[in-house]
A and B are shown apart, each in its own frame.
Chain A
Amino acid sequence: MTKPAKFTGTDSYITTRDLEIAVNAAMTLERPLLVKGEPGTGKTVLAREVAQALKMPLIEWHVKSTTKAAQGLYEYDAVARLRDGQLGEAKVHDISNYIVRGKLWEAFTSDTQVVLLIDEIDKADIEFPNDLLQELDRMEFFVYETKETVKAKFRPLVIITSNNEKELPDAFLRRCFFHFIRFPERATMEKIVAAHYPNIKHDLVREALNLFFDIREVPGLKKKPATSELLDWLKLLMVDDIPADILKSNDPKMVVPPLYGALLKNEQDVHLFERVAFLARRGQ
């Protein structure tokens, strides 16, 4: 048996050991990996980075509230066939001309092993995961219209993300490996920043991280800023060339940090933060 390559993160994606183990387990046993975590901690990016690191093509299936499980397999375009039948087209005699392949089909019939990302599975109807059980377990499905069975040539590495909006059924969970991306601690965060912006000034990162973790500490925030928000914010700070000492200023006029719009995404949070910061200032 040839040992598959191991995933150990990439230059731009810092992993933790538990995530590596989870990805490698999913890859070795060819089972789906379910990734949960706060928004903005890199769940979707993980699939892209795994695909890149293992040099496998990536097939992305973004799930919406109206997505049906069957759409991932195939759709039979009966209306097109009916219309062609009326017009007397020759291809109407072969039903397979009207089978539109879905993402799963695409992944199953690929000539190399692929990474299949099923993004935000919790957005779909509550029965959605149940409808995919058999397909993900056996990696095959039956096409009723053409009486053929589509079987995976190479079992794809399936990465599923969820934002916890709906709970997933037990039977589905039993078949997956699970990983919860924790919010990175400071040391990891520094590495992540360094991986994304190698040329950033050290003192800027230090002050920005101080502020960032302070903001996350504010109780009652509706949406705590996460990694992706921090990276956006740092980029803005760099573009505007804001010096580090502005971030730690004790200037009473500067209650909210510059360019806070990248960190706090709704006006209640901004108000809350202003109040907390104001009280903290007064207490000093």
Chain B
Amino acid sequence: MFAGFITSLRNEGVAVSLTEYLTLLKAMRHQVAMLDVEDFYYLARATLVKDERLVDRFDRVFALYFQGLSGVSQDLLAEIPEEWLKKLAEKYLSPEEMAAIKSLGGFEKLMETLRERLQEQQKRHEGGSKWIGTAGTSPFGAYGYNPEGVRIGQSESRHRSAVKVWDKREFKDLDGEVELGTRGIKLALRRLRRWGREGEASELDLGGTIRATAANGGVLDLHLRPERRNKVKVLLLLDIGGSMDDHIEESAQLFSAAKSEFKHLETFYFHNCVYEKLWRSNRRRYDDFTATTQVMNTYGPDWCLIVVGDATMSPYEITHAGGSVEHWNEEAGALWMERLLKHYPKAAWINPRDTHHWGYTASLKLLKQMMGERMFPLTLDGLDSALKELRRPH
């Protein structure tokens, strides 16, 4: 029935499955939405779209696909109950006109006048690019009795405007074309789970209980143990500002995924290259910083170090003292990187830049070399390899 519509949706990247299509057909058969394009639109949206970011694409396909719906309207005309038309008339004709018509002769006359009025309407609205009048004052659009007319049967209080809901494209802002969802990242991060038992004993230790009970001569001796928790510890250093502005979206997603996955996660920010200072909140970077040595002393070598940055800067910022763009650094960035890497054997650099460009930036090559090829792209595969690297026994 709507196979073409489904195909168009799939072509536009709204991945509709057969199940959902069948559900829609079933819902139509159960008359959830009847004879009303707008209701049908809502039903189709609730059935076929499961992510608010895709609603806008759905709206566009819907508008395109159902442009040719006009043919239906003529058949419907015959079935429109009288009282709806009366209501329609009330909307379209002034009270004086109504009175005049009434005195002239009843319903026949009324219908005739109404028809004329709607004919006029149709002419006036022609030429618009959409099948609804673009002027937006008439609640009927270009085709007069299109299924919109059916809605007149509903109560007056429902205020409607002539622009179709799907033409409004209210969900436009939500369509982000985000390919790398947090779900994917989270699933990748699960690789780094390392289970350990810590904290309050709240789970029955079956093995321990059996052993203790047997030792106790068959009298029950319950043993409890703490629940299994992910005890991997992650120190996340994020490059912020400057060239990283283009990658904020991905980095933020990675960060939010990491935050919900790891219980022990410490985050610090740096700019371009790591020097003697790191800061916890980017807003207060000038007055509230932590010395890099202090960070290293607080978080021991059992922590995994993950650096997120594009490693794109002037090579001097890495190699020379005083090379930083922001302040006078006594020691070169390279020295600080070396210290960090020596302190944290488990380390990886995640780079949001496209791997195609990696060969063209001197600073990037430099850092990659320094990391001992432990630099990975910020893609699901890259994350996977990075986490594999972190899991490797050192």
**Chain A residues near B (Cβ < 8 Å):** 17-18, 21-22, 24-26, 28-29, 31, 33-34, 36, 78-79, 82-83, 86, 126, 165-170, 173-180, 182, 187
Whether B17 contacts A179 by the Cβ 8 Å rule is no
Residues of A within 8 A of B27 (CB): 25, 28-29
Given contacts A17-B42, A86-B219, A177-B46, A29 and B26 within 8 Å (CB-CB): yes
Q: How far is the CA of A65 from the CA of B88 in the complex (A)?
A: 54
What are 13 A-B pairs at a CB distance below 8 A?
A: A22-B46, A25-B27, A25-B32, A29-B26, A29-B32, A167-B182, A168-B183, A173-B50, A174-B20, A177-B47, A178-B51, A179-B46, A180-B55
CB contacts between A and B, total, < 8 Å: 82
Whether B43 contacts A25 by the Cβ 8 Å rule is yes
Can you name the residue of chain B whose Cβ is closest to the Cβ of A79?
B204
Which residue, of B32, B39, B55, B171, has the highest number of chain A Cβ atoms within 10 A?
B32
Q: Is B181 an interface residue (CB 8 A)?
A: yes
Whether A36 contacts B52 by the Cβ 8 Å rule is yes
For the complex formed, measure the closest distance between the CB of B359 and the CB atoms of chain A, giving whole angstroms: 34
Whether B183 contacts A126 by the Cβ 8 Å rule is yes
Can you name the residue of chain B whose Cβ is closest to the Cβ of A36?
B52
- Given contact pairs A166-B183, A180-B52, a sample of 15 additional A-B residue pairs in the complex whose CB atoms are under 8 Å apart: A18-B165, A22-B42, A22-B46, A25-B32, A25-B46, A25-B47, A29-B26, A29-B32, A34-B50, A79-B222, A126-B190, A166-B260, A177-B46, A178-B46, A180-B55
Residues of A within 8 A of B50 (CB): 34, 170, 173-174, 176, 178
Q: How far is the CA of A24 from the CA of B159 in the complex (A)?
A: 21
Q: How far is the CA of A179 from the CA of B30 in the complex (A)?
A: 19
**Chain B residues near A (Cβ < 8 Å):** 15, 17, 19-20, 23, 26-27, 30, 32-33, 38-39, 42-43, 45-47, 49-52, 55, 158-159, 165, 170-171, 181-183, 186-187, 190, 204, 219-220, 222, 260
Can you name the residue of chain B whose Cβ is closest to the Cβ of A181?
B52
Residues of B within 8 A of A168 (CB): 183
For the complex formed, measure the closest distance between the CB of B326 and the CB atoms of chain A, giving whole angstroms: 24
Q: How far is the CA of A79 from the CA of B203 in the complex (A)?
A: 11
Q: How far is the CA of A25 from the CA of B48 in the complex (A)?
A: 12
Can you name the residue of chain B whose Cβ is closest to the Cβ of A172?
B50
Residues of A within 8 A of B32 (CB): 21, 24-25, 28-29
Given contacts A36-B52, A174-B19, A21 and B183 within 8 Å (CB-CB): no
Which residue, of A34, A173, A176, A180, has the highest number of chain B Cβ atoms within 10 A?
A180
Can you name the residue of chain B whose Cβ is closest to the Cβ of A268?
B283
Residues of B within 8 A of A187 (CB): 159
Residues of A within 8 A of B23 (CB): 29, 31
Whether B204 contacts A167 by the Cβ 8 Å rule is no
Can you name the residue of chain B whose Cβ is closest to the Cβ of A86?
B220
Q: How far is the CA of A36 from the CA of B50 in the complex (A)?
A: 10
Whether A126 contacts B20 by the Cβ 8 Å rule is no
Residues of A within 8 A of B165 (CB): 18
Can you name the residue of chain A whose Cβ is closest to the Cβ of B45?
A18
Q: How far is the CA of A21 from the CA of B325 in the complex (A)?
A: 58
Residues of B within 8 A of A166 (CB): 182-183, 186, 260
Residues of A within 8 A of B52 (CB): 36, 180
Can you name the residue of chain B whose Cβ is closest to the Cβ of A173?
B50
Q: How far is the CA of A175 from the CA of B17 in the complex (A)?
A: 10
Whether A174 contacts B17 by the Cβ 8 Å rule is yes
Given contacts A18-B46, A86-B220, A174-B20, A28 and B30 within 8 Å (CB-CB): yes
User: Which one, B26, B39, B183, contacts A169 given CB within 8 A?
Assistant: B183
Q: How far is the CA of A169 from the CA of B187 in the complex (A)?
A: 11
Residues of A within 8 A of B220 (CB): 82-83, 86
Q: How far is the CA of A208 from the CA of B66 in the complex (A)?
A: 41
User: Which one, A79, A83, A175, contacts B19 given CB within 8 A?
Assistant: A175
Q: How far is the CA of A21 from the CA of B285 in the complex (A)?
A: 51
Q: How far is the CA of A176 from the CA of B46 in the complex (A)?
A: 9
Residues of B within 8 A of A175 (CB): 19
Can you name the residue of chain A whose Cβ is closest to the Cβ of B183?
A167
Residues of A within 8 A of B51 (CB): 173, 178
